Amino acid sequence: MLTQLDAFALQLYCCYLALLKIKNNFIVKNADHHFPKTANNPTMKTTLLCLLTFITFHFYDALAQELPFKIPAASLGQRIEQDFGLGTVSVKYYRPNTKGRKIFNGMEPYGIVWRTGANNATVVTLTDSVQVEGNTLAPGSYSLFSIPGADEWTIIFNKTINQWGAYAYDQKQDVLRFKVKPTKLTSKVETLTIQFADVKQDDCLLQILWENTGINIHLKTDVDNRIMANIQEAMKGEKKPYYMSAVWCYNHNRNLAQALTWMQEADKTNPTAYNIKYWLARLQLKTGDKKSAIVSANEGLKLASAENNAEYIRMNKEVLHDAGAN
């Protein structure tokens, strides 16, 4: 049975015979003319280039399948994942280097679909629905293509994943297309970098940085309304999440009157918890009841001091200061 390298040797021999045949045919057709050197002959140069490309590709393909050990790719892969809203966003891509080359409007021409990386097209995976530049993108995995331009880029989310390059790219499989403006970076980025920036619970940027160009893609997800709906549903159950629900409402400035009632219920259930006293004081202060806030904070300070909890001692003192008790 032929091995991969045996098969490659046979292919190489066939290429050699084909090259001889082409050369001989060319000489016969040009018998009455001086036969130019191969290096200066366009026909022979094109033929040789095609054959060398074919040989090189098949050599590395055969070698990769034959080697009993792993070798690193020219462009190394990376997978990044970001908690976002109630789900995650992850990106899997390969990271080419500039290596002194001109990238955009050079190696990656303007107006041509790019895989947004190297090797396989970059893949973005969402576990939850996300607003991408104001457009809803459902949970799933998408190939991230782009069309670079001097003043404007087209960003493409395509539902066909595991594509090598953009050679089989099909616009009919696009689920989202939009335009963004590139920015000029203050310092050169040697290795293609895709990252998350300015990350908040429901808002962040997905950035593409390479050479002297930066792309910002705005991502947003609905957290508040969904959590409020989840809280309301949980309150129908036997074990009601009074404490955590009230803290969440305080931190997001939502339903403060209801949150105060929930924290009061939590305080009735566990009247010696200094953390509950602290948050009760915070809610009372935020809803305008300074007198009650001072009482609750003093109780929280006493309980925290008994447990020698420096953090809650400090925080209850802050409530007293904010309420004007000092």
Alpha helix stretches (DSSP H) within 202-325: 224-234, 242-252, 256-269, 274-286, 290-306, 310-322
Q: Do 141 and 154 fall within a single domain? A: yes
Q: How far apart are CA 44 and CA 56, in angstroms?
A: 18
Question: DSSP label at 188?
Answer: E
pLDDT in tens, 103-116: 999 999 999 999 99
| Residue 173 in domain | yes
Q: Do 88 and 211 fall within a single domain? A: yes
pLDDT score recorded for residue 29: 42
| Residue 194 in domain | yes
pLDDT in tens, 53-76: 445 444 445 445 567 888 888 899
- What total number of domains does the chain contain? 3
Tell me the three state secondary structure of residue 230.
helix
Q: Do 102 and 141 fall within a single domain? A: yes
Of 22, 46, 66, the residue that ends a domain is: 66
Containing structural domain, residue 284: 224-322
Of 17, 40, 66, the residue that ends a domain is: 66
Q: Do 238 and 214 fall within a single domain? A: no
Q: Do 233 and 100 fall within a single domain? A: no
pLDDT score recorded for residue 18: 52
CA distances from 198 to 86, 182, 214, 218 (A): 17, 17, 15, 10
| Residue 62 in domain | yes
Q: Do 151 and 43 fall within a single domain? A: no
| Residue 297 in domain | yes
pLDDT score recorded for residue 73: 85
pLDDT band at 33 (very low <50, low <70, confident <90, very high): very low
Dihedral of CA 114/117/121/124: which sign? negative
Per the model's pLDDT, the better-predicted residue between 45 and 248 turns out to be: 248
pLDDT in tens, 153-167: 999 999 999 999 999
| Residue 178 in domain | yes
Q: Do 173 and 85 fall within a single domain? A: yes
